[in-house]
Structure 1
């Protein structure tokens, strides 16, 4: 007679109540940081073709959108600016203009919603006439690491003065965390946090984001500063350097194709780990759902759960608003 199993894991799956009781990973609205897009103008809300349901907002409409998100329990936002080409130059000077679109809007948001957390983006590409995250040598085309640090430091300082709660250096220049920390501390912004893009890969999944902000490089690519998608151990080297330089939180970007990296980083640090569920990942699910190939809502929640399960404490995701509505339904 066959031997019947004595260990029956299915007993812990036999009802919804028991499944919920023993669930190992849980999503909550407070896990989400919502990336939002800012553009010039008034009363503007323009859908991004490659990101269905996501819009470029003028400052007034963005403040309205944040108000709606706060009602859903979303309290953390990562604004990204679309800068007029006429204001761009090779040294990204507009990034430190307190009357410019980005900094003025950050200040306005903090005045109207003092309790929300704003994570700002520190990289030159939105403001650069070259479309790169650092200073480009006009003769060789090389991205000049050390010359970029000065620009990034002044950008971070201007954002802190505008009211940023968390500075998010996404540039991947060497030494930028230490440089920014010194600039902030020496100007009495010791309480402003740094969430470094610790492992930001040179990924194909950024396409819709670059469409949204017209921030693609004018020449060349970003492979000399963003990481090689083939490398995992290198992420631990970047993590060790960021920790030495005084980072408060670390990030892996993208998320879905780098779940192994999220877990690797989670296992090697006591710091909070975040992950960026990027535009291309969002767009793929939306496109498949529109075709009826996937259940969009279930797939969205499974993807977010997988990122959390891999070890992320917080997730930057364009699904934040939609997922918050699902979680509210229970």
Structure 2
């Protein structure tokens, strides 16, 4: 199993998997932000003296659950069915996560940021939050004598990332390592199985085993000129050659007008007659005959 870490293709697949997983996680955590800037104008001296407190109060009002319900009632496009089914404390937590209001420096301007999975929803939330704030501020302040709200910049939507790149890199490395290891382990097991099947093919020859000190062993030892030993058992290949004698058959009759030779036209010499008398038929010796000849040879009788 540790051999996988020595393979070059393991590190190639590891880098590829890490890159693919990182891109997928970045796109999964990608969101859209819509920002709208407003300016709070203080009209009376009393409002100017309490400007910081008024700005903090506006931020607090925009983060409340009644204000979120007013935004949903004013614009149906801002509604989400899954969020509406949640209890009130979860709705308020969700609202504070997707819409935030921050003061711009030391000025009296406020920036409202709405976050959503798609650009249209983010723009709707940001724009409707400003409209609902202008419509509900009259319930807390005198908008004719104390203050007024003007839109400086309409909603501007841009891509954003809601996660942490550090944790995404760690997750990508871990997931890429697991996938690369599993893939290379599977490929290595498949290669080993294929090589094992090739190595177990049956050889196209067969050998015969004969024990030591047998007539067959003694008869073939002098001819083979050697012997192969393995675990006190002699193993040798015995090859047999079949002698094929030609067979002549009569295919056609001789013409009737050919002369007939006399019987004594070819005389047989006496040497040929003696050779024919001494000629004996040869046959394959049996194990008993081989043993008898070897005994005679050893005793000096032959």
Q: TM-score range by the shorter chain?
A: under 0.3
Larger Rg: 2
Q: Which has the higher contact order (CA 8 A, sep 6+)?
A: 2
Structure number having the greater helix percentage: 2
Structure 1-normalised TM-score? 0.21
